[in-house]
Amino acid sequence: MGLFSSRKSSVKKEAKFAEPPAAAPAPAAVAAASSDDLSLQKTEGFRRGSALATKQDLEAATLADFDVVRVLGRGAFGKVSLVQHKTSHEKYALKTLNKKMLVAVKQSKGAITEREVLKQKGHPCIVRLYWAFQDDESLHMVLDYLPGGDLYDRIEELREAAPGTGFPVARARLYAAEIALGVGHLHDAHGVIYRDLKPENVLVDAEGHARLTDFGLARVAAPGEAARGKSFCGTAEYMAPEVVVRGKEGHDKAVDWWGLGVMLWEMLHGSTPFDDENHAKVQKKIVEDVIEVPAATDAAAAALLTKLLVRDPAARLGAGPSGTADLKAMDFWQPLSWDKVYERAYPAEWIPPEAGAAPEPDDDDDDDSDDDEWHMHVPGAMGGKPDSKPDLFRGFTFRREASFVGPPETAKRGSKEQLTRTASRMKRQESKLK
Ligand SMILES: Nc1ncnc2c1ncn2[C@@H]1O[C@H](COP(=O)(O)OP(=O)(O)O)[C@@H](O)[C@H]1O
Ligand SMILES: [Mg+2]
């Protein structure tokens, strides 16, 4: 039995989200804007528009404040929906996690970490969190809506058009640079290991730039210590060898640079270096296979890949205190200035299509009977008393000081087409071993 359901529920059903939650949300632990938030103002992408003190500035949010438009994606513990704020009409992405499922698979800490990471980070290559709130059944995070979908869909488009090909080097380079900036910021400014780098977790914003989302597996270091993890986590094809072998030393931030190597390879060639139908074989390849960069690879990209896909984490590019700087010094990036990448000064090659007036309905499933089918199949996770361990999620609630950050990165543009959710995508989700 797969860990995750592959059923889609109908959008009509999502309208239930528009109803007020059964119980009042937990008391708000309203956080003041941190210095991170202020850094948002430095970048062009965040400067647009004036920041008025609206209802959003002043109050914590509840589900009743949003209309659900459609489902954007489904993941391990819940789903992400496109929503519209009822009074401001701004669009956001609402990520909803089922509490019982999180408890059943001991991932409640992951949800709190995710909120913690998203709350703090103000960076052009990282998705922003506006509100976090909860009700009896679920945790909710209101995020920037990024209308370009995720990189999985962008790579899938290429695979369909011409199997075996990837993005042109310049396009892959800019995405990889943006991912590297986001990851480097997490490592160096916040002592956070991301641990789940893969195309599904990199979103494309309205201007075509890449941003990291999904911090459910991220690990925050305690003050003064370098983040180190021991859990066997991630998605099979992107796991670093030290995670696969589960050595007693655990793993550190170098896992993210391995992940960047796998992703850059996939962006350039349309498939990962350790591709296989069978997860055990994927893991075996990660640990044992001779890694040979395809001959057709751009020479500077090949040199970078060879240094990123080094099995010994201590010898891998990006390990050590000056890791991010070492990575940035590689020739592959030479056509780019890192400051300009940060400022989003390079026009993206692919920009999401113009938003239609109304989003396309999710018309592929009108079956109302599977209301809860998006939940992961965990025995005992469903039913019973809601929120039986409310303390586990204490402090989840959050409200960003909107007057510090300006308006959301909302959908000037929006994806017209319904995102394709292929069988292979579901398969990869199932491979997310936690
Ligand atoms: N802010 C967003 N804007 C647009 N699409 C999103 C957004 N966040 C998530 N998605 C879509 O939903 C999917 C699942 O979201 P994610 O946060 O990765 O959840 P999970 O932790 O369950 O993997 C993503 O792969 C992406 O396709
Ligand atoms: Mg994800």
Domain of 294, in residue numbers:
151-342
* Whether residue 190 sits in one domain with residue 335: yes
pLDDT band for position 162 (50/70/90)?
confident
- Per-residue pLDDT tens for 299-327? 999 999 999 999 999 999 999 889 999 99
From first CA to last CA, the distance across the chain in angstroms is 16
Name the phi and psi angles at 264, rounded to 5. Answer: -65, -45
Q: How many domains does the chain have?
A: 2
Q: Span 143-169, mean pLDDT?
A: 92
Asked, for residue 23, whether it belongs to a domain, the answer is: yes
The answer to whether the beta carbons of residues 339 and 348 sit under 8 Å apart is: no
* Whether residue 161 sits in one domain with residue 298: yes
Q: Span 36-40, mean pLDDT?
A: 29
Ligand 1 mean position, distance from CA 335 (Å): 30
129 lines ligand 1 (CB under 6 A): no
The whole-number pLDDT of residue 390 equals 55
127 lines ligand 1 (CB under 6 A): yes
Please choose from 6, 84, 195, 213 the residue to mutate so as to test ligand 1's pocket, defined by most ligand atoms within 8 A of CB: 213
Nearest residue to 149 via CA among 350, 1, 378, 397? 350
Ligand 2 mean position, distance from CA 75 (Å): 6
Residue nearest to atom 4 of ligand 1 (CA): 146
Q: Span 241-256, mean pLDDT?
A: 88
Residue with the bigger pLDDT between 17 and 362: it is 362
pLDDT above 80: residue 35: no
Q: Where are the alpha helices (DSSP H) in 124-276?
A: 151-161, 169-190, 241-244, 254-269
The whole-number pLDDT of residue 190 equals 85
CA–CA separation, 285 vs 271, rounded Å? 14
Residue nearest to atom 12 of ligand 1 (CA): 73
Residues 6 or more apart whose Cβ sits within 8 Å of residue 366: 10, 12
pLDDT above 70: residue 6: no
Helix (H) or strand (E) holding 94: strand 91-98
pLDDT above 90: residue 100: no
* Whether residue 386 sits in one domain with residue 276: no
Counting from 1 in the atom list of ligand 1, the atom nearest the Cα of 147 is 4
Which of 291, 310, 342 terminates a domain? The answer is: 342
pLDDT above 90: residue 219: no
Task: Read off the CATH number of the domain in which 138 is found.
Answer: 3.30.200.20
* Whether residue 31 sits in one domain with residue 143: yes
CA–CA separation, 301 vs 315, rounded Å? 18
* Whether residue 284 sits in one domain with residue 180: yes
The whole-number pLDDT of residue 396 equals 75
Highest mean pLDDT among 65-69, 105-109, 215-219, 230-234: 65-69
